[in-house]
Amino acid sequence: MGNLALSGTRTSSGALTDGMRLGAGPGAATFVLGLAYGAAASAAGWGGAVPLIFSMLACSGSAQFTLLTTLPAGGAVAAVTAAVLINARYLVMSVALNDSLRGGRLRRGLQAQALLDASFAVGHRGNGRFDVARVIGASIPQWMCWVGGTAAGLLAAPSAHLMYALGADVVFPAFFLMLALDELRKSRRAIVAAILGAGIAAALLFVTNPGNALLGATAAALIGAVHGRRRSAQRATRTS
């Protein structure tokens, strides 16, 4: 029993370390984005405390950038609504993660706070199961880099022109591509879902904001249900 518990601890801490190692790459990308966010918040006159505490508490580039850019133009209610809607995908992701979590509702809800886009991909073990320690591990360097990047951006305030010239805008999509390439090796259905997801997001970008387009892209995963239904029908035909 003791050995079992010990090996469980080892596996869990190993997964946590593994997650931290895998989260370092996306973390580097997050640092660059945090730098841009800190610089933009400083330029918008948000001061130092608000952006830094916002990064520490929310750790969400999409929502934080949305609030920063829409608050001056659209008013507080519209800006908050836009920032919340852009992160609606986390609701879908938390449902996906729930089967792999342990404990009561509150404990599960607390564990799910580690959800970040890259961590969701890094923690996916296949067949809809997630390694929660890996998800948490991957989020640690990303959180540190996001907060550190925000602080660096507030202090250094690099110009948008310099960030552009250095190709900083490549970092995030390139890391997502790296994670996608790893994910696509898992199955042919994953390739189909990715192509469909890209197509849905591409089409939705014409009519809605990137957050909603992203939420729409997750609908591509529904082909999993269609495939399952076809297989069941084939099995039923064979049996009869």
Partner 1 sequence: MLWLSVLAVTAANWAMKAGGPLALGERQLPPRAVKVISLMASALLAGLIVTNLGGTAWNDVNWQQVLGVGAAGLARTLRAPMLLAVGCGIAVTALLRHLLT
Alpha-carbon gap, residue 121 to 135, rounded angstroms: 8
Contact 139, 119 (CB under 8 A): yes
Alpha-carbon gap, residue 191 to 188, rounded angstroms: 5
- Count other Cβ atoms within 10 Å, centred on residue 111: 20
Q: List the interface residues with partner 1, window 192-221 (CB under 8 A).
A: 193-198, 200-202, 205-206, 209-210, 213-214, 216-221
Cβ nearer to partner 1, comparing 58 with 157: 58
Q: By rule CB under 8 A, what count of residues binds partner 1?
A: 102
Region from 2-10, 11-19, 58-66, 150-158 binding partner 1, contact rule CB under 8 A: 58-66
Decide: is 224 part of the binding site for partner 1 (CB under 8 A).
Answer: yes
Region from 5-13, 140-148, 150-158, 224-232 binding partner 1, contact rule CB under 8 A: 224-232
Query: How many residues make up the chain in this entry?
Result: 240
Q: Is 236 exposed, middle or buried (0-12, 13-18, 19+ CB in 10 A)?
A: exposed
Contact 30, 61 (CB under 8 A): yes
Decide: is 79 part of the binding site for partner 1 (CB under 8 A).
Answer: yes
Region from 7-15, 61-69, 147-155 binding partner 1, contact rule CB under 8 A: 61-69
Q: Closest Cα partner for 96 from 76, 114, 112, 79?
A: 112
User: What is the enclosing helix (H) or strand (E) of 207?
Assistant: none
Q: List the interface residues with partner 1, window 141-160 (CB under 8 A).
A: none
From candidates 167, 233, 234, 235, binder to partner 1 by CB under 8 A: 167
From candidates 6, 156, 160, 181, binder to partner 1 by CB under 8 A: 181
Region from 11-19, 117-125, 141-149, 151-159 binding partner 1, contact rule CB under 8 A: 117-125
